[in-house]
Structure 1
């Protein structure tokens, strides 16, 4: 297969404008999405279930709201009453929930047509799925929201729903060359999502561009999140070093390109240094996730452990050794860090850093390293992956924009500025 032969994201905002202008029929968009799934998913394997064409057409014809007639795919970690929900596990093969997850209800209320479910790593942990990366099928699409990122990257749908407990939205968005948005916890509901860690689980969004992701976020959250104007002379804080792991030369080159683009577009960059407590959060995240997962997946481990992957089973067996005292200490660390983090954003509009250590790793045996994402999930920061750059190997490499909790609109507009600056730089260099 040729690198990038399946990469064809669809701009959801452009489709919305064409529907509103009368040049495109909503039912046609949904049927085109199903045609695209038929065309490419036998190679990409992003979908676990797909709605039938008659039902899809009827849903599009009767839809109304900001997402009216737009096809959306939903990660198979969220319950759907009309499509099977397997949570990435053979334990739940053919499972049909009695009700939709809250985020699915919000999609339907906004007029979206849920055309199918996308692959997830087993219970949204780290076991690789069968999904291939549309930008380069020899590379991982990331995880755990592998199918959602790949479905958008391959142009099957303009929007998809994912989740993040460590790096499960931002990392696959980076690897697949699409926008990914992890909001402040609570902005979008997790009710009806299979829980892994109740303190960390967050709904994530995928779209072709940052503006598209912001439009989707606004439609679902009912808050002014759409990017209507770019910030004037934003200042981006770029870390001098990282407490989790060093980015590759590839990632640093992408960051340097973004810094140059930001300057040419009228923004500026300020060097920042993380306090020592940021390094402590790596262990705190692991402790909290482990303690809570051992309890969240207690039924599955106690009754179906032979059907768990060796990777997840081994993780849960280690997680069983985390005691309540260690968990409580980690929770205190998390709460204190959330109170201390305001200083990270002094004098800057947003932080800017790599979204992942490098391009997507070659091979399908791993979902990649979430090191650049875990702390921000623990701290509750809104994060946006900005697509648009490629590494030395020709695969996408994303940039992560991070803002303080509750600053979701600022995060999206700052990310849109970076995206715009990179596009300008590309046009000037072409």
Structure 2
């Protein structure tokens, strides 16, 4: 895997030029993506910016995010060949920082649940997760140092965990979604994938113009270990990884204790699909009305069911979410972060993109979530660190602390 910070250090020292760094990324894609299927298309050759804090950084852009120099097809033949006239806001910001949005990465159709053709770099028979399949796989395979994805349920955190990399789903709307194909306007969040947590912190701080995001962990942080029992049971291996991450946090000086979330959170968790699907029915109304037969099976059936949802059900679900958000804000007075599993377990086979049930509450809450890989044998496992809304710097700092401690032996 390629480190954004390592590349930038080499560029700043003069041992690597931005142009050479981008050429290296193009060569890696040509050499290694054939069997992986993470990259859909690359940007035309052209001058590489020599200045800017992200000069020389090649970025993968999930194919629901607009790029003026590459087609944006939303993972669907319905939009085959569509070329936006403008970059999405986050893509324009990356260019202003000197980065090169180099490749469009594979996504499931309209960021839904139907698998796309991308393989997991650790085992081609396994899914890389969805819907940000290509972005996660491209980082894990060492094709790119940074990639963009989106999360509506668990589509940043889960694929990062399956691919053994770091990722952040920031606080809701911290990164603008202007120019991003909507699935659910109350949930969709642009996120970042990278090799490690320090890379994420640097990239996010620059993208959102908040350098304070790149901060140090507080001394003796309080970390609440949460199993989300209302979401069902995680695999034994995932729970063992969570326990291992808890021990690593304690070695780093944290105070770790168990947290059982009260009933309002179970109701909010159950409300997530109603909010998501009621909005998806409207966001994808044109595709459903004019191209129903071209929609893939899982998404098509999901939108079929969504037609029966009522505004009263949607409003009730939103109230459940609001109550839980208010209670979570108060609960964060008692701890600095929540530590929980990133996924049910290891990556399943490619017939599915995996299960988002341990992610969707936190997407609905709008809080920052950072996934950290837990080293070990076999396919990757991850844990996620969750902080108060707007406290993305603390989420990243504590995730970085745990990431570093996990490199030490139990």
Task: Verify the 8 A CA contact 1:76 1:117 in the aligned structure 2.
Answer: yes
Distance in structure 1 (CA, Å) of the matches to 2:20 and 2:50 = 13
Out of 370, 385, 396, the position equivalent to 2:380 is: 396
RMSD over aligned CA atoms reads 1.3
* Alignment partner, residue 41 of structure 1: 33
Q: Secondary structure at the match of 2:270?
A: helix
Distance in structure 2 (CA, Å) of the matches to 1:42 and 1:225 = 40
Distance in structure 2 (CA, Å) of the matches to 1:178 and 1:250 = 17
* Alignment partner, residue 381 of structure 1: 367
Stretch of structure 1 that moved more, 346-355 or 151-160: 346-355
* Alignment partner, residue 6 of structure 1: none
Taking the TM superposition and a 5 Å limit, the aligned residue runs for 1:195-234 are: 195-234=182-221
Task: Verify the 8 A CA contact 1:67 1:110 in the aligned structure 2.
Answer: yes
The runs of 4+ residues in structure 1 deviating greater than 6 Å are none
* Alignment partner, residue 67 of structure 1: 54
Could you tell me how far 1:310 is from its partner in structure 2? 1.5
Name the CA shift for 1:319/1:253 in 2 (closer, same or farther; >3 Å): same
* Alignment partner, residue 411 of structure 1: 395
Structure 1 spans left out of the alignment, 5+ residues: 1-8
* Alignment partner, residue 81 of structure 1: 68
Deviation digits for residues 114-161 of structure 1 (CA, Å, limit 9, x no counterpart): 111001111001110100011221211000000000011111100000
Name the CA shift for 1:311/1:410 in 2 (closer, same or farther; >3 Å): same
Deviation digits for residues 195-247 of structure 1 (CA, Å, limit 9, x no counterpart): 00010000010000011011110110000255443332222100255211111
Out of 133, 143, 146, the position equivalent to 1:159 is: 146
Taking the TM superposition and a 5 Å limit, the aligned residue runs for 1:257-336 are: 257-336=244-323
Task: Verify the 8 A CA contact 1:217 1:225 in the aligned structure 2.
Answer: no
Could you tell me how far 1:420 is from its partner in structure 2? 1.0
Task: Verify the 8 A CA contact 1:180 1:213 in the aligned structure 2.
Answer: yes
Q: Secondary structure at the match of 2:83?
A: coil
Deviation digits for residues 338-365 of structure 1 (CA, Å, limit 9, x no counterpart): 111124323221000110010111x211
Q: Secondary structure at the match of 1:255?
A: helix
TM-score (norm 1): 0.93
Q: Does 1:14 align with 2:6?
A: yes
Distance in structure 2 (CA, Å) of the matches to 1:311 and 1:335 = 29
Task: Verify the 8 A CA contact 1:402 1:411 in the aligned structure 2.
Answer: yes
Could you tell me how far 1:265 is from its partner in structure 2? 2.0
Task: Verify the 8 A CA contact 1:176 1:396 in the aligned structure 2.
Answer: yes
TM-score (norm 2): 0.97
Task: Verify the 8 A CA contact 1:120 1:144 in the aligned structure 2.
Answer: yes
Could you tell me how far 1:44 is from its partner in structure 2? 0.6
* Alignment partner, residue 135 of structure 2: 148
Out of 344, 348, 356, the position equivalent to 1:370 is: 356
The number of residue pairs the alignment matches comes to 410
Structure 2 spans left out of the alignment, 5+ residues: none
Name the CA shift for 1:241/1:377 in 2 (closer, same or farther; >3 Å): closer
Q: Does 1:353 align with 2:340?
A: yes
Deviation digits for residues 171-210 of structure 1 (CA, Å, limit 9, x no counterpart): 0000001111000112100000000001000001000001
Out of 229, 232, 240, the position equivalent to 1:242 is: 229
